[in-house]
Amino acid sequence: MDPVVLFFLLGVFAKLARSDLRLPEALYETLSIFLLLAIGLKGGIELAKVPLGSVAVQAFAVLAMGFLLPLPAFAILRGLGRLSRPDAASIAAHYGSVSVVTFAVATTFLSKREVAYETHMPLFVALLETPAIVTGILLARMGTLASVRWRAVAHEVLLGKTLVLLLGGLAIGAAVGPDGIEPIKPMFIDLFKGVLALFLLEMGLVAGGRVADLRRAGVFLIGFGVVVPLIFACIGAIVARLVGLSDGGTALLATMAASASYIAAPTAMRIAVPEANPALSIGVALGVTFPFNITLGIPLYLRLAEALRF
């Protein structure tokens, strides 16, 4: 097993055993800024070399997938789970959006197995973050769209740190290229795995703290947190193959589709759909789907990508 995953499990263990281990909030913030910038930079370095036409087609397909993914999730939550409209819409938005850390773990998994992937994949992480949130809000607010604080939500999402740092990193990486990145490479590229490991220790503490929420969420949502990522991974893999991504790129897009947001979506949905219970969406996204994806999911998605060649 990858060491970063073991760090995560250590964090979960520490939380469940009630250890006094606690990372200072300032460190969490620093690590997450580092990771977002580093992922953006890495994706940007080669971006200038990729033909614009092929990226544009891929980007369009990824955006469309982002807008549509919440729809099947919403139907399952309403139909099978009998959840209220706001709760179903909010959870659907979380699952349609993307988890950057899950993506980061998937890239280290692929690198370790020497599976190549398109270097501009972080661009798709940035593209996948917002559309599902918009669809989620529309699903929750059908008929009463005027009541949504669109301006506050738009500001929160489009100028939130995730998009600013991911897109900022991509732009800086693309502007300076491989040679320009050399002076900051020891910090942002070489240290990446170590920082990710430390961040996952913190994520373990956070996920371990969500166990109480799961008791409230019930069996249906826990099952949802495992089955829906598998379905979404298939959708992601099919889209990836249709736009001509490699094995590695297909595994990564499958991982993105399978992952659930726990930073951008909770904040945006809290403002836009306050009556949705955040303990449900965050409990299942962080308590079930995130651990499932980084331990069992990612290896499965690589196999899926390798099996799905057309």
Partner 1 sequence: MQTHARKLLVVICEAALEKMLIEDARRLGAAGYTIADVRGSGRGGTREGAWEADRSIEMKVICEAAVAERFAAHVMATYCEHYSVTMYLDDVSVLRPEKF
Does residue 212 touch partner 1 according to CB under 8 A?
yes
Under rule CB under 8 A, residue 205 binds partner 1:
yes
Q: Can you tell me which of 17, 18, 25, 53 binds partner 1, judged by CB under 8 A?
A: 25
Burial of 181 (0-12, 13-18, 19+ CB in 10 A): middle
Of the candidates 225, 211, 232, which has an alpha carbon nearest to the alpha carbon of residue 288? 225
Extract the tokens encoding 308: 């799905």
Question: Residue 31: which H helix or E strand, with range?
Answer: helix 25-45
170 binds partner 1 (CB under 8 A): no
Kindly tell me which of 32 and 135 has the beta carbon lying closer to partner 1.
Answer: 32
For position 279 contacting partner 1 by CB under 8 A, the verdict is yes
Q: Which string of b and e fits 294-306 if b means at least 16 CB within 10 Å?
A: beebbbbbbebbe
Indicate whether 263 belongs to the interface with partner 1 (CB under 8 A): yes
Residue 274 interacting with partner 1 (CB under 8 A):
yes
Piece of 178-186, 200-208, 218-226, 228-236 that binds partner 1 (CB under 8 A): 200-208
Residue 114 as a binder of partner 1 (CB under 8 A): the answer is no
Asked whether position 21 contacts partner 1 by CB under 8 A, the answer is no
- Position 142 contacts partner 1 (CB under 8 A): no
Distances (CA, A) of 271 to 26, 94, 143, 147, 204: 24, 14, 18, 11, 26
Q: Is 214 near partner 1 (CB under 8 A)? A: no
Got the DSSP string for 140-168? Answer: HTTT-GGGS-HHHHHHHHHTSHHHHHHHH
Using the rule CB under 8 A, which residue among 124, 262, 290, 301 binds partner 1? 262
b/e code 194-212 from CB counts within 10 Å (16+ = b):
ebbbbbbbbbbbbbbbbee
Stretches 113-121, 205-213, 221-229, 289-297: which one binds partner 1 (CB under 8 A)? Answer: 205-213
Contacts with partner 1 by CB under 8 A lie at 22, 25, 28, 149, 152, 155, 202, 205-206, 209, 212, 262-263, 266-267, 270-271, 274-275, 278-279, 282
